[in-house]
Amino acid sequence: MKLPALRQRIPLLLAKLDEAHPDAHCALHFRNPFELLIATILSAQCTDERVNMVTPALFSKFPTAALTAKAKVEDIEAIIRSTGFFRAKAKSILGASRIIVEHFDGEVPSTLEELVKLPGVGRKTANVVLGDAFGIPGITVDTHVGRLSRRLGLTKLDDPVKVEFALNKLIPQPQWTIFSHRLIFHGRRVCTARKPACQRCTLNDICPKVDVTT
């Protein structure tokens, strides 16, 4: 399907997602950009629920980039151990905090170009922070967004960055962030990886069930 034809489907897709998931939001708990940045780093290969169980203790002890930058990596590891890959994540948290302090006066940068230079931060994490902490639209391509984009025929691509760029051409920019959240909610609640609930899916009548475009 060519891009113009795909774009004609988008308003209906967005309306159906809005109706199905009006409560869609960032599932990570945070109070400021620094907390969201750290929570998103922790969310790699880990559920949001688990991250939300860990971050209260972490942010109680290390509430700012300045304090985190002075932490011992072992102290961070001890708190985040249950999130998996805790050694690598602790190094990323410590490294990112030090760069934020040294180069950004202790404040999380608000551009994608600056964010992706931080340890442990790729485009997915950067777009989460931009969209939900700074109100700057960004499409977050996690496993749910990638899977549903292919199932809905929005792309054939597997690489998350290429999927992001493909979706950028289809979805109106002001809706990039909320579109990501609604697709994630739909992937968790309905269009799951192993057993998609097609019989109760509100997108059933516009879902081609096959990949149709790049």
Burial 101-115 (b: 16+ CB within 10 A, else e): beeeeeebbeebebb
Q: What amino acid occupies position 210?
A: V
Token pair, residue 95, equals 């490294």
Query: By C-alpha distance, which of 4, 7, 11 is closest to 179?
Result: 11
Among candidate residues 16, 89, 124, 132, the one labeled active-site is 124
Among candidate residues 18, 48, 142, 211, the one labeled active-site is 142
User: Quick check: is 124 catalytic?
Assistant: yes
Q: How far is CA 197 from CA 117, 132, 190, 201, in A?
A: 39, 29, 5, 6
Query: By C-alpha distance, which of 114, 154, 153 is closest to 134?
Result: 114
Q: What amino acid occupies position 207?
A: C
State CA 155 to chain mean position distance.
19
User: Quick check: is 209 catalytic?
Assistant: no
Residue 192 host element (H or E): none
Cβ atoms of 97 and 68 within 8 Å: the answer is yes
Which residues are annotated as catalytic? 124, 142
